[in-house]
Structure 1
């Protein structure tokens, strides 16, 4: 099966999102599977088929990869969802938190409500996302502090490979889609040139930051972590999560985490409907614009940068970065190139593997 045929059978560009109204009992879009080839049904008597359990494990791993990506400024969990082949199912499931769901719950049709929402899929994915964020936020904080160039090189490679993959979701290039690509790149470049914010940790500002940043989780463009950096709360939020994971928390910190989580939930529910509409009615142009966002944000991941002499002694969140030419770089350029290429190869291999599973 050709690459374009695989995409047409499984994901957003050629599967009308309107078809979700005819989905099966799993909450899958028409023609989509749970990722392991199973439909997700439970056998009579309450036993769970091995294929369904295997699908749950796969979805936890998918979520872990999304959570890991969302802890890094410049990498989007939505891009990971596209690569791993569960993007359509994710957007569809989130958008099903609607009046029909509440009606089913009101009528105590809980099994139907769970199928409508695709609860099993969301639960496994959510577990993986939470695990990825909690376990890796501290590591990413350390890497950005002490191994910034190497870390940025890895994620630059991931981003470049992801742009190449997302390109396959635009079936044909028209003048309007090229314009959308250029516009997206221009917007991203303008955003990345903005100075990092010094946002406070007040509860209203935390809620606002979360509701904006979470939208990037389902967009294959600028990452939620990068938005949090721009808003000046990235390091504070990851610090809260890191301390809570170690058991160091207070009523104030738990309240801040709860408010941040609430902002994420509200933003995600609202934006999923907008995204579903855009993909249904203008999916080619939307994907081209998202590609532009990814291309324009690549400069933020350029590894040859260092803090200015005036801010070098400041905490990372207060440092102002400046670009350095390869001739003046005092580190190993070969190492950075190797890391970037290796990361790109990993993304391509993972995408090919996921594509092969979908083809079978």
Structure 2
């Protein structure tokens, strides 16, 4: 988009950082953050424009025309924010998930719950067919988050495939790319590669992500241009169906030992008052409310900026 100032691009970097932080958490989607921050359709449209024909534009009309056609400044700012966030926050969020899981999940549960209302509000037509698409999205998302966890896989072709599938989930509101990595058994390998700067693994996962991103963005662009309300309803269902995965209070039913580390593979959601005697309960509830309110604060700020 033309007419953007450096301050606008700084905001895009910050939105990218929020997306990166969300994508590190298994259960929260960076696509949800993109949607509620008002850049989702521009992101999908920009990714859809990345095709071989752009190289012809560069050759015939020069780099400036190529950069403008690719919406390069927007993508560079957004991807820079995501990269900064993943590189700087991966270790911290990993520590928090291990030592303070209820507090982390409480905040993100409130955030994602409010985003359901935000996305649903954008649907203009509420016919039975549109509602059916929402139900379909909810069933698919719930089925995905209910799948059992796979054992850890670390072969390079498998990590390439994991990157392609995870990136598709990352740009879908409600479906977490990090959780797809957990399901595929690649999450620990990818997170360790980021911590240890393992360039070989990062390259293969990144290459898979690029292939998946360029392919899947075309489908989403087509769906938005032809069936916008149905697509929004489907995305709302995705977010709603993913909520059980990030419910903060859980009871462990089954664990497995993967490579010397105990991993929960089956758990059940329980009511928060089961932990009413735990002093962490009040803090968890407060963080859930904070996450819920944060969405509407962001929405208000975006509305003021647009006006």
**Does TM, scored on the shorter chain, surpass 0.5?**
yes
Matched residue, 1:135: 88
Q: How far has the Cα of 1:227 moved from its partner?
A: 1.0
How far apart, CA to CA, are the structure 2 residues paired with 1:310 and 1:119?
A: 45
Alignment of 1:222-301 (within 5 A): 222-244=175-197, 253-301=198-246
> Higher helix share goes to which structure?
2
How far apart, CA to CA, are the structure 2 residues paired with 1:310 and 1:214?
A: 27
Q: How far has the Cα of 1:291 moved from its partner?
A: 0.8
Of 41, 49, 57, the residue aligned with 2:10 is 57
Alignment of 1:73-88 (within 5 A): 73-88=26-41
TM-score, normalising length: structure 1: 0.80
Matched residue, 2:122: 169
How far apart, CA to CA, are the structure 1 residues paired with 2:297 and 2:8?
A: 20
Q: For the structure 1 residues 179 and 254, does the alpha-carbon distance in structure 2 shift closer, same or farther, using more than 3 Å as the test? A: same
Matched residue, 1:17: none
Matched residue, 1:347: 295
How far apart, CA to CA, are the structure 1 residues paired with 2:21 and 2:61?
A: 37
Residue 277 of structure 2 is aligned to residue 324 of structure 1: no
Matched residue, 1:197: 150
Q: Does structure 1 retain, via aligned residues, the 8 Å contact 2:148–2:265?
A: no
How far apart, CA to CA, are the structure 2 residues paired with 1:81 and 1:316?
A: 33
How far apart, CA to CA, are the structure 2 residues paired with 1:97 and 1:310?
A: 43
Q: Any stretches of 5+ residues in structure 1 without a counterpart? A: 1-27, 29-33, 41-51, 245-252
How far apart, CA to CA, are the structure 2 residues paired with 1:61 and 1:106?
A: 33
Alignment of 1:181-192 (within 5 A): 181-192=134-145
- Structure with bigger gyration radius: 1
Q: How far has the Cα of 1:57 moved from its partner?
A: 1.2
How far apart, CA to CA, are the structure 2 residues paired with 1:275 and 1:310?
A: 37
TM-score, normalising length: structure 2: 0.93
Any idea what SS the aligned residue of 1:204 has?
A: helix
How far apart, CA to CA, are the structure 1 residues paired with 2:87 and 2:166?
A: 17
